[in-house]
A = this chain, B = another copy of it.
Amino acid sequence: MFRWNEENQQAQQAVLTRPAVTASKEVEAICIDILNAVKTQGDAALLKMAKEFDKRETPRLLVPVEEINQAEQLLSNELKAAIETAYANVKRFHQAQLPKDIKLTTQPGVLCELKYQAIEAVGIYVPGGSAPLPSSVIMQGVLAQLSGAQTVVLTTPVKADETINPAILYAAKLCGIKTIVESGGAGAIAAMAYGTESVPKVNKIFGPGNSFVTMAKQLVAQTIPGMAIDMPAGPSEVLVIADERANPEFIAADLLSQAEHGADSQVILLCNSERIIEKTQQALTEQLAKLSRKDTAEQALANSSLILVDSVEQAFAVSAQYGPEHLILQLADAQPYLNLVKNAGSVFVGDYTPESAGDYASGTNHVLPTYGYSATYSSLNLLDFFRTYTVQTISKNGLRELSKAILPLAAAEGLDAHANAVSIRLEAMNNER
């Protein structure tokens, strides 16, 4: 237990410091090679990697549409219904985010518009690795579908048996995704960034992944003009604020549900009761023993802290300083405190709102800024699949009046040609009379 008020500022900062995440030069060099190979050789490079890395004898790149359509037959009724509920809730919440154009006359004869345009082609990466992640498809695919993007590409590595999990395929089907590429890692990112014979080139790439995926996304965003990625990536993290009446079993379960994500996950408890912290510590030990991902969770707990604070208000101040990806509030009545929330990605209010609700099915997005980026970055939302541009339409009289603002400013900035573009039009108007 870390007693916040008994420590100096340096120790306080240290307990909130995240483990350093630095990509190795080796990962960077490998990614650059892969990007170049896919850029120059296209499909051939992807197929070669499928043979080498995935040990596929006769690899293929695209999942046939019939396979996507038939995947649901391989799912249990429970899982199928679960995917459908998650899809429906996420769709409902994000549909409410559909943007509206703005049209406004700023002064007579000067019409200004703000317009939203779906990003034309988007790519979604879904990690394979230790577990299939249908939730990751939903959290990104629903948004692409709602935006009306013309091209949606999903890339994901195959399992050892060379198939893609049917839960992923069914989630993709619900999201209307028809282009599913059997490719993972930096190669998949390269394929979407440059385009190949089989894989359409996209403008923006979404999705989490391992260090190769993260590095490849950074590299394409830095080197290809017009290419964008969703947000900076970092290890997952949760911060729980609990009061003296909170349930230590619930707290421990929430901390562990984050800790099992990865050994680099960080979990923090801020609590104003020494007794609850001690009981949480016990519950952690008991619950940990039963987990299949015990080792991972145990390593993550080693980076983590149970912190005693003086008050709930202080807990919110410490949380704002940390800026957690997930913020869970196990408080008797959280409402009065909600205006103290700062720099959090997603907030879970009350004893019966565990993080896993938002991870899967409440409707909010589980793609969230982490590693302190919640000070400036948004949780993934529908606008990430749109761009805005402006339009102005000015009448002759509108320009005549507006010239009184344009001409002195152009003169002050020493930009003759800017002034001339207006005065040449004013002259033309005067000549018309």
Contact = CB atoms under 8 A, between A and B. Distances in A.
Contact of A378 (B102, B297, B389, B412): B389
A361 B409 contact: yes
A143 B242 CA distance: 37
Interface in A400-430: 402, 404-422, 424-425, 428
A131 to B, nearest CB: 4
Interface residues on A, range: 35 or more
A421 B267 CA distance: 14
A31 interface: no
Interface string A89-133: 100110011000010101100101010010110000000001111
Contact of A120 (B165, B342, B398, B417): B342
Interface string A251-268: 001101101110000000
Contact of A361 (B348, B386, B402): B402
A392 B347 contact: yes
A219 interface: no
Contacts of A81: 404-405, 408
A352 B117 contact: no
Contacts of A148: none
Contacts of A187: none
A379 interface: yes
A105 to B, nearest CB: 9
A185 interface: no
Nearest to A423: B253
Nearest to A249: B424
A30 B233 CA distance: 28
A5 interface: no
Contacts of A359: 406, 418
Contact of A395 (B83, B97, B352, B395): B352
A92 B106 contact: yes
B350 A394 contact: yes
Contact of A390 (B228, B253, B365): B365
A220 B355 CA distance: 32
A405 B82 contact: yes
Nearest to A335: B393
19 contacts: A82-B409, A82-B412, A86-B409, A89-B106, A97-B114, A110-B363, A134-B413, A135-B409, A225-B371, A227-B376, A250-B428, A254-B421, A256-B421, A257-B415, A260-B416, A352-B425, A353-B394, A357-B394, A361-B406
Interface of A: 18, 76, 78-79, 81-83, 85-86, 88-89, 92-93, 96-97, 102, 104, 106-107, 110, 112, 114, 117, 119-120, 130-135, 165, 167, 203-204, 225-228, 234, 247, 249-250, 253-254, 256-257, 259-261, 287, 290-293, 297, 323, 334, 338, 341-342, 344-365, 369, 371-379, 381, 383, 386-396, 398-399, 402, 404-422, 424-425, 428
